[in-house]
Amino acid sequence: MPQNQVILAIESSCDETSASVIINGEVKSNIVSTQVIHEKYGGVVPELASRAHQQHILPVVETALKQAKVTKNDVAAVAFTRGPGLLGSLLVGTSFAKSFALALNIPLIEVNHVQAHILAHFIDEPKPQFPFICLTVSGGHTQLVLVKSPLKMEIIGETKDDAVGEAFDKAAKMLGLPYPGGPMIDKYASEGNSEAFEFPISEMPGFSYSFSGIKTALLYFLQKKVNEDADFIDNNMADICASFQQTLITMLLQKLRKATRQYKVKQIAIAGGVAANSGLRNEIQKLAEKEDLEVFIPQFQYCTDNAAMIAMAAHFKYLEKEFTDQKVSAMPRYALH
């Protein structure tokens, strides 16, 4: 192994183009270019996302290398998000990484995006100890994962329909809030009464989740109230957001509490973009105090899609010499093993 294990990591699964450099397990740079073009469409447009990745990837990589004070010739391996994600977006990162590795004759490391979200907890101190349970919540995923080691994880529960991030975004659209909707709902919720309105909690077996019911319930609720009062949403925005958000958080944490008891785990973590939600952060801290648990939440910049988490996953794979070859291709559906 080289004296300085320098790994360049690329993340391009959705609408963030990101590059990171990690040296001997320590993140030295994490550059993220967020695509604002999707805001006017109220959601990510896949074709526009892949075009934006093509435009951003070179400057993002150059900036990441420069900030880490290394050159391309110092890089010992290059890592990339193979999936899950949008095919066109993944192809940009995959193709770039393969070309980079081929040109420099260095190893190639494929990374599962969801696994990387969980391993973001190992970028900074404090770090959880194995085994722990991670609640992974993002626009595309809602999963409860039993984390046995950096590269050994077991999904013990997941959503059967919408991810919780999708539920937030779709609710925001119904309320006339701009995309991305999750942060907007969180902002209004902080000023509202979470007990003002009641929404149904889906009952699912085991550790499974379902968020389609609450989304439909909100739609019918708003239609009924707006028919009675055209200004209902504007006059009650904070209370609607607070009540809706609290219901989603309750659903998430009920299963998390149940899982910690069944698996006798005393450390819990949250990962993914929705981990930035202040309501969820507050409630998980309350749960931890009540159940005598230790909770871990990454810095905000490592909750949303970023290459630092890809770099950390690659670091662990590099230590185990888990490399891939030039035949590798993007995998939009990439199950966590």
In tens digits, the chain (337 residues) has pLDDT values of 446 899 999 999 988 899 999 999 999 999 998 766 666 666 677 778 788 878 899 999 999 999 999 999 999 999 999 999 999 999 999 999 999 999 999 999 999 999 999 999 999 999 999 999 999 998 788 999 999 999 999 999 999 998 898 899 899 999 999 887 889 999 999 999 999 999 999 889 999 999 999 999 999 999 999 999 999 999 999 999 999 999 999 999 999 999 999 999 999 999 998 998 999 999 999 999 999 999 999 998 999 899 999 999 999 999 999 999 999 999 998 888 6
pLDDT at residue number 91: 95
pLDDT at residue number 41: 63
CA–CA gap between residue 202 and residue 282 (Å, rounded): 22
Query: Six-digit token pair at 247?
Result: 């219901």
Strands 152-158 and 267-271: unpaired
Query: Six-digit token pair at 53?
Result: 């990745």
Phi and psi at residue 49, to the nearest 5°: -65, -45
Burial class (CB within 10 angstroms; exposed 0-12, middle 13-18, buried 19+) of 286: exposed
Q: What is the pTM of this model?
A: 0.92
Category of 287 on φ-ψ map: left (φ > 0), alpha (ψ -120 to 50) or beta: alpha
Q: How many helices (H) and strands (E) does the chain have?
A: 9, 10
Distances (CA, A) of 230 to 171, 217, 227, 233: 18, 19, 6, 8
pLDDT at residue number 162: 87
CB 268 within 8 A of CB 132: yes
Q: How many CA atoms lie within 13 A of 167 on its CB side?
A: 31
Question: If we measure between CA atoms, which residue out of 109, 121, 47 comes closest to residue 82?
Answer: 109
pLDDT at residue number 2: 46
pLDDT at residue number 139: 72
Residues contacting residue 326 through CB under 8 Å, at least 6 positions apart: 98, 101, 102, 108
CB atoms within 10 A of CB 205: 7
Sign of the Cα pseudo-torsion (206, 207, 212, 217, in order)? positive
Kindly report, residue by residue over 38-93, the tens digit of the pLDDT. 666 666 777 787 888 788 999 999 999 999 999 999 999 999 999 999 999 999 99
The SS3 assignment for 231 reads coil
Which uninterrupted H or E stretch holds 172?
A: helix 164-174
CA–CA gap between residue 310 and residue 59 (Å, rounded): 18
